[in-house]
């Protein structure tokens, strides 16, 4: 087997349609995907299970083997879509709108990544609000891996970041967001919500 460095790899999120899996299945799905691709140089970094998709965080050699990888993984479930992970330098308004749409279809890892680029250049209260939203996305990433304790811990951090925020932030109702977070922290269960 030819060894390929991560420098020669391209990162993709591969989404399979989720018809029957729950976050508790994430570890077994990760092991299964790694087993299916063990003869290749593909790296399955992580697996997350949302209501809609099984998300495989992958690194694939930059040699055009994407179709082969998808063909193998679709023995687990049908392909929904895949996305090449490259840094997108979107204008702030577009990035926030895009991240919100990703969040609302339970693509929390991507939403986190998109918002992080905006957060880096934000200042003051806006930086805190963005950090709070990023933390909510990160919390739900952990929930997708059946890590409820980590999810709750991160939601508590998000709540603190959002304390000074109120009203509408670029289409996101911060008061409702704080309410939804508090409801999970105080009463459970972890029910994912939209922003």
pLDDT band at 73 (very low <50, low <70, confident <90, very high): very high
28-51 average pLDDT score: 96
pLDDT at 7: 62
Higher pLDDT, 135 or 187: 135
The pTM score is 0.92
> pLDDT: is 167 or 62 the higher one?
167
172 φψ region: left (φ > 0), alpha (ψ -120 to 50), beta (else): beta
Cα 26 to Cα 44: distance, rounded to the nearest angstrom:
12
> Tokens for 127?
């930086």
Length of the chain: 195
Distances (CA, A) of 163 to 78, 80, 99, 145, 159: 42, 37, 21, 27, 6
Domains of the chain are 6-84 (3.30.70.260), 92-187 (1.10.3450.10)
Query: Can you tell me which residue has the tokens 């593909």?
Result: 42
d(CA 195, CA 186): 19
Q: Which residues contact 10 (CB under 8 A, 6 or more apart)?
A: 59, 60, 61, 62, 84, 85
Under DSSP, the state recorded for 80 is: E
């Amino acid at each position: 087997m030819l060894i390929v460095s991560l420098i020669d790899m391209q990162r993709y999120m591969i989404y399979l349609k989720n018809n029957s899996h729950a976050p508790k299945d994430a570890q077994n799905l990760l092991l299964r995907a790694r087993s299916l691709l063990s003869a290749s140089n593909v790296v399955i970094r992580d697996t997350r299970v949302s209501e809609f998709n099984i998300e495989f965080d992958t690194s694939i050699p930059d040699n055009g083997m994407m179709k082969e990888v998808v063909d193998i993984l679709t023995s687990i479930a049908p392909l929904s879509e895949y996305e090449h992970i490259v840094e997108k330098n979107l204008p702030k308004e577009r990035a926030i709108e895009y991240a919100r749409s990703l969040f609302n279809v339970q693509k929390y890892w991507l939403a986190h990544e998109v918002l992080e680029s905006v957060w880096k250049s934000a200042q003051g209260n806006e930086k805190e609000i963005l950090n709070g939203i990023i933390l909510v996305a990160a919390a739900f990433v952990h929930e997708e891996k059946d890590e409820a304790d980590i999810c709750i811990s991160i939601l508590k951090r998000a709540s603190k970041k959002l304390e000074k925020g109120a009203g509408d932030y670029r289409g996101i109702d911060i008061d409702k967001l704080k309410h939804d977070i508090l409801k999970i922290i105080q009463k459970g269960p972890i029910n994912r919500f939209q922003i």
